[in-house]
Copies of this chain bind each other. A is one copy, B any other.
Amino acid sequence: MEEVEIHLLKNVDLKGATLIEGFPSVGLVSSIVANYLIGALKLEQVGIMDSSFFPTVALVKDGVPLNPVRLYSGNTEGGKVVVFISEFQPPTDMIKEIAERVLEWGVEHGCSLIVSPEGLIVDRDEGVEDFVEVYGIGSTREAHDILEENGVPLFDEGVITGIAGVLLNEGRKKGFDVVSLLAEAHPDYPDARAAARVIETVDRLVLKMGLDTGPLYSEAGRIEDELKNIHRRAEIVKRPEGQHRPSMYG
């Protein structure tokens, strides 16, 4: 298993589904979005993504061991969705392969749209409750129409790096609809408010669940704490691998 591969744990029909990717981005916007949607929509784990270069780690939740990159799926008012969530930041030299594999896989399974949340770096003061703007950009004419019809302001000049950047390029190259939603986010910590704004936009564009955005912000805060917590535990458990396992032949 050299390459990035996607393995389904159960048969799912994803024809016409919207694929939402949740690989870590600026302010962990995509991670928080993916986490929230999995919980709020009661999505079920349907698969894993793996590679020989992914971390050798099982994340245990509710007594179940989980791969670091997983696929969840379920139904919404707006149709089927499949969400990719990753517990780790892929190394730079794997980003192209991962993004290309996600898009190819979406095409193979008949998905109709990929949504890629991203954070746009801004330097807001923490106390100031400014309104967070969400911009959109699409890989095709059709993707742009979706944004315009839903009143999402266009991101028309700039640079988009990472998974979102590659998904947009590949979508344009292959004529597949990819939408990236960019929320102004603080780069130094998980930005739950930015993620909440993206969730509202995803709901409006795709899910049509009329998600109650009242508890959304506090929910997002909980997820933010949990993410920090996972990080802290990972730090602690990570130590033995490097230093604490007594070596034998050194």
Residue among B50, B58, B100, B245 making CB contact with A187, cutoff 8 Å: B245
A241 within 8 Å of B by Cβ?
yes
Complex formed: what's the CA distance from A9 to B172 in Å?
9
Asked whether, in the complex, the Cβ of A61 is within 8 Å of the Cβ of B239, the reply is no
Asked whether, in the complex, the Cβ of B230 is within 8 Å of the Cβ of A88, the reply is no
Contact bitstring A219-250, B, C-beta under 8 A = 1, else 0: 00000000100110111111111001111111
Number of interface residues of A (CB under 8 A): 82
Interface residues of A in 44-79 (CB under 8 A from B): 48, 50, 52, 54-68
A80 within 8 Å of B by Cβ?
no
Main secondary structure of the interface of A (DSSP, over half): mixed
A28 within 8 Å of B by Cβ?
yes
Asked whether, in the complex, the Cβ of A249 is within 8 Å of the Cβ of B55, the reply is yes
Asked whether, in the complex, the Cβ of B166 is within 8 Å of the Cβ of A96, the reply is no
A111 within 8 Å of B by Cβ?
no
Residue among B26, B96, B121, B164 making CB contact with A52, cutoff 8 Å: B96
A99 within 8 Å of B by Cβ?
yes
A154 within 8 Å of B by Cβ?
yes
Complex formed: what's the CA distance from A249 to B250 in Å?
25
Asked whether, in the complex, the Cβ of B160 is within 8 Å of the Cβ of A60, the reply is yes
Contact bitstring A87-125, B, C-beta under 8 A = 1, else 0: 111001001110110000000000000000001010000
Asked whether, in the complex, the Cβ of A56 is within 8 Å of the Cβ of B236, the reply is no
A225 to chain B, nearest CB (A): 13
Using A187-B240, A190-B246 as known contacts, say yes or no to A62 and B156 having CB atoms under 8 A apart: yes
A92 to chain B, nearest CB (A): 7
Complex formed: what's the CA distance from A157 to B173 in Å?
42
Interface residues of A (CB under 8 A from B): 1, 7, 9, 24-28, 31, 48, 50, 52, 54-68, 87-89, 92, 95-97, 99-100, 119, 121, 137, 139, 144, 154-166, 168-169, 171-173, 187-190, 227, 230-231, 233-241, 244-250
> Closest 6 A-B residue pairs measured CB to CB?
A187-B244, A65-B168, A58-B165, A63-B156, A88-B249, A58-B168
